[in-house]
Amino acid sequence: MKHHVSKFLSGAVCVFASLMPVHGSALTYADAVEALSDQDLQGSSFQNHGYLCEKLAMLKMSESYDQSQLASSIVYSRNGRVIGELDVVVFDREGLAQTVIEVKCRKGYTSAMNSASKQLSRFQGVAGRCDYDYMDKEGRRYDCSAFKAPIDYMAMSYTDAQRAGFELSFDLSRDQVLRLVDELR
């Protein structure tokens, strides 16, 4: 069964429940500061804090999944031309993608959700095609077969963006993320 981005809201409650942290914990502001201060964020641009939001998404998902099941920044390309990037991918124990998460952090929540839906739809149209290359920023290549199984497509953002249709959040509001950006500069 192929999951459609336009229909993923109807199944969001079931999928969201399966992605909830095992221990029921929430990512707190203090947790985020502690975890991100240990990382080298010097090369990241805080003008657009999307990079930081992707780091927060990985922190949130690592509450539920082993690090070996998570990947970020997987670029998919064809004939050397980059088509798009997958922000967060959750793999099952056999190495098959089970969930692709698009992370969006923008002031216009509805516009951000529309953009996330378009990006997820674009990938859904090519997922598993072997005439595409799939590689993360560290150079690890993924076989096209890893993206052939039924995949759930979800969008993640601030807690206050869920009203615009985001299924997942990293438990911090937009104001908290902006404060975090200032604190980590």
Query: Minimal CA–CA distance to 86: which of 54, 63, 112, 131?
Result: 54
Q: Is 54 exposed, middle or buried (0-12, 13-18, 19+ CB in 10 A)?
A: buried
- Domain of 22 in residue numbering reads as 5-184
Round the CA-based radius of gyration of the chain to a whole number and report it: 16
More confident residue, 37 or 72: 72
Q: What is the mean pLDDT of the chain?
A: 83
**Residue 4 reports pLDDT greater than 50:** no
Q: Is 79 exposed, middle or buried (0-12, 13-18, 19+ CB in 10 A)?
A: exposed
Q: How confident is the model at residue 39 (pLDDT cuts 50, 70, 90)?
A: low
Cα distance between residue 72 and residue 57, in whole Å? 9
* pTM for this predicted structure: 0.82
Structurally, the chain folds into a number of domains equal to 1
Q: What is the mean pLDDT of residues 121-140?
A: 95
**Residue 34 reports pLDDT greater than 90:** no
Dump pLDDT digits (tens) for 167-184: 999 999 999 999 988 888
**CA angle at residue 63 from 7 to 109, to 5 degrees?**
45
